[in-house]
Amino acid sequence: MGRKPEAESNTGHPTPSHVTLAVVLQVRAGRLQVLLWQRAQQPFAGRWSLPGGYLQPNETLEESIRRHLAAKVDVRELAHLEQLETLSEPKRVPREWQLATGYLGLVPSDLDPKLPGDTAWHPVDRLPAVAFDHREIVHAGRERLRAKLSYTNIGFALAPALFTVSELRDLYTAALGHEVSATNLQRVLVRRNVLHATGARRSPGPTGGRPGALFRFRERRLEITDQFAVLRPPGPARAAAS
């Protein structure tokens, strides 16, 4: 009989370090913004980077990123958190062989997390000088969000508990990067049974106007609502939402 192959051993086999990073997004001042912290040490001292850090022994990836967010940028409450991608380019980080697992986190627009002095929100479409490959990771997070706004109820993670359709339209517009019709958005989300009319109304502002009907999301956890839907920019003969 032939000799049985020996089990492969990891002894002496080099392994990379592993970090978790978070693309934390929020609509602030009418723009989609990402949370970044400014590096104090080399490499890339003075540049901005995504919050995160090293994976510890006996720790899951999600436990790791939640720990780093709580410790570094005081973001403990996220409406939604999901794994985004793993970066494995061997030379993506100077001086170290490092894997990075990115996460997408969303903060509702009515929250204002307390931030340390070296941390700030930055518009996704106007990022400062960033470290490593973090610009590409931020853009990957934005594209994941845009895609899921089409076929899931992920808007719940951007919106406050109660909102008018116009307020929700503004959040979708900021996240998608193009104008969205409030009428069409309401029609689509009601048809998909995503929104619930509360029966309450928002009081008119100082300039008057009709009180706005208040809605809420039926579920505040991720659900696929229409796997084939796409929210497209408005065209000459096309509505803003379909």
Q: Which of 67, 242, 78, 58 is nearest to 149 (CA)?
A: 242
Same domain, 116 and 183: no
Shared domain for 49 and 132, answered yes or no, is yes
Are the C-beta atoms of residues 116 and 73 closer than 8 Å to each other?
Answer: yes
Q: Do residues 123 and 28 touch, judged by C-beta distance below 8 A?
A: no
Answer yes or no: pTM beyond 0.85. yes
What is the domain count for the chain? 2
Q: Give a yes or no: residue 101 inside a domain.
A: yes
Looking at the structure, tell me whether residues 35 and 105 fall in a common domain: yes
Is 8 a domain residue? no
pLDDT of residue 233: 77
Segment among 6-10, 35-39, 46-50, 86-90 with least mean pLDDT: 6-10
Answer yes or no: do 62 and 75 share one domain: yes
Give the CATH number for residue 78. Answer: 3.90.79.10
Q: Which residue has the higher pLDDT, 207 or 133?
A: 133
User: Looking at the domain assignment, is residue 225 inside a domain?
Assistant: no
Mean pLDDT across 128-144: 97
Phi, psi of 27 (to 5 degrees): -85, 115
Asked whether residue 1 is domain-assigned, the answer is no
| 104 shares its domain with 209 | no
Together in a domain, 173 and 61: no
Mean pLDDT value of segment 129-141: 97
pLDDT confidence tier of residue 65, bands split at 50, 70 and 90: very high
* Domain final position from 95, 121, 149: 149
Q: Both 140 and 210 in a single domain? A: no
pLDDT, one tens digit per residue, over 174-207 is: 999 999 999 999 999 999 999 999 999 987 766 5
Q: Residue holding tokens 């192959």?
A: 5
Let me know whether 141 and 160 are in one domain: no
Residues 32 and 100 in one domain: yes
Spatial CA neighbour of 87 closest among 23, 157, 12, 176:
23
- Residue 210 belongs to a domain with what CATH number? 1.10.10.10
Whole-angstrom distance, CA of residue 136 vs CA of residue 119: 19
Average pLDDT in the 103-109 region? Answer: 96
Give the domain extent around 210.
Answer: 154-217
Predicted local confidence at residue 1, as pLDDT: 47
User: Does one domain contain both 126 and 209?
Assistant: no
In a domain, 35, yes or no: yes
Mean pLDDT for all residues in the chain? 89
Note whether residue 134 is domain-resident.
yes
187 and 67 both lie in a single domain: no
Q: Is the pLDDT of residue 224 over 60?
A: yes
- What pLDDT does residue 226 have? 86
Residue 201 lies in a domain: yes
